[in-house]
Amino acid sequence: MSEKVTAMIEEIKGLTVLELSELVHALEEEFGVSAAAMAAPAAGAAAPAAEEKTDFDVILTGFDAAQKIKVIKAVREMICARTVEEREAALAKVEPFQQGDFEAMYRIMGERPMTIRYLDPPLHEFLPTKDEDIKELAADMGMTFDDLKNVVASLHEFNPMMGHRGCRLAVTYPEIAAMQTRAVIKAALAVQAHHPEWTMVPEIMIPLVGEAKELKYVKDIVVKTADELIKAAGSDMKYLVGTMIEIPRAALTAGEIAKEADFFSFGTNDLTQMTFGFSRDDAGKFLGAYYDKKIYENDPFAKLDQKGVGKLVDMACKLGRSVNPDLHLGICGEHGGDPSSVEFCHRTGLDYVSCSPFRVPIARLAAAQAAIKEM
């Protein structure tokens, strides 16, 4: 290899992720080729060894609108239920759909780890707000307009993102957590039966925990339900129960929460908005002024705030692993695809990052660069 080429390679090694992306686009435009074409083997040359498949095409082969409508209707019946019995009857209609979805996901993922987050959004999101829509839904559900209107009004919250959602739904309505556990475990057992060569280990995540006793309460429901199903199936299947750390109090009390958790997933979107005290949906209206006045240098929802939010993450990692050395740690959110945030996660000792699909290549490259810096 010539000195000139060697020097070019060394210079490329020092480029950032964004600079590498710019370089690729510039080469494509300059020479009128794509990166894929430049990487293709020359004619007559031996084909390179097969690489692990990392890109997948998802093809929608069918969409049963009628079935989806049935699911939505059953969820609405659950929300409007007046008794536990009515709620369980509605959830029994939802369970087969949930199990079917989980089975499909497990078949696609194979033995790869897959974390299933339990119901998180506030219930009002499933109901209409306009009178004409409420009237139509009431007729469809066999309710009076006034009764359904009262249900909608009772679910109204001034700040729903900090309201009755996440694990709080399971504490109020434990039958929801029981139904979702049945769907997860039955799906895993069914796929395991078809693929005995796989080792299925369901990972169940309880969202929005802020108190160790919250997690224990919901976890007890999960464990009781899962153990009964696994025993009845004559299986020795293992499963994990963890939580999302997305409330500052959860980070501060992570040592207590870790006693009940197999893993932490830091929900940095919610953790950021709760730490800064502003909504990620509304902050865009005023953050521009903060950038102009150099108060904030970056969007805290795009690039992890390492001084504040990062300190909570670091504290939670240390507290959690001090009582549970095997605690699995990761983050979930758009920060997982930001290079500087990925490097922070590596330094902090996290095991993985989760992000939107289009950010995965950047995250992988950033993780590799972070590891190289420590060599």
Instruction: DSSP for 164-228, please give it.
Output: S-THHHHHH-HHHHHHHHHHHHHHHHHHHHH-TTS----EEEE-S--SHHHHHHHHHHHHHHHHH
**Rounded mean pLDDT of the chain?**
87
Dihedrals phi, psi of 265, to nearest 5 degrees: -120, 115
Q: Strand 352-354 to strand 263-267: parallel, antiparallel, or no bridges (unpaired)?
A: unpaired
Query: Which residues are registered as beta bridge partners of 329?
Result: 264
Q: What is the pLDDT along the chain (375 residues), one digit of tens a residue?
A: 677 777 776 676 666 555 555 666 566 566 555 544 433 333 444 444 455 555 556 565 655 677 778 888 889 999 998 899 999 999 999 999 999 999 999 999 998 999 999 999 989 888 888 999 899 888 888 899 999 999 999 998 888 888 999 999 999 999 999 999 999 999 999 999 999 999 999 999 999 999 999 999 999 999 999 999 999 999 999 999 999 999 999 999 999 999 999 999 999 999 999 999 998 888 989 999 999 999 999 899 999 999 999 999 999 999 999 999 999 999 988 899 899 999 999 999 999 999 888 888 889 999 999 999 888
Query: CA–CA distance from 294 to each of 23, 241, 283, 298, 341 (Å)?
Result: 30, 42, 16, 9, 20
Q: What is the pTM of this model?
A: 0.80
- CATH number of the 246-375 domain: 3.20.20.60
Residues 272, 278: contact at Cβ < 8 Å? no
Query: How many Cβ atoms from other residues are within 10 Å of residue 96's Cβ?
Result: 15
C-alpha pair distances (Å), 290 with each of 66, 270, 273, 293:
48, 20, 16, 5
User: Is 38 exposed, middle or buried, given 0-12, 13-18 or 19+ CB atoms closer than 10 A?
Assistant: exposed
Nearest to 188 by CA among 119, 241, 114: 114
Provide the H-helix boundaries in the chain. Answer: 3-13, 17-31, 35-38, 65-80, 84-109, 131-141, 145-154, 167-172, 174-194, 212-232, 248-252, 254-257, 268-276, 287-292, 309-323, 339-348, 360-373
The DSSP line for 233-264 is TT-----EEEEEE-SHHHHHTHHHHTTT-SEE
> Model confidence over 176-229: pLDDT tens digits?
999 999 999 999 999 999 999 999 999 999 999 999 999 999 999 999 999 999
Contacts of 99 (CB under 8 A, 6+ apart): 182, 183, 186, 187, 190
Task: Judge contact between 213 and 256, C-beta under 8 A.
Answer: no
Domain borders along the chain are 123-156, 246-375
Pairing mode, strands 240-245 and 115-117: unpaired
Residues 6+ apart with CB under 8 A from 310: 304, 344, 348
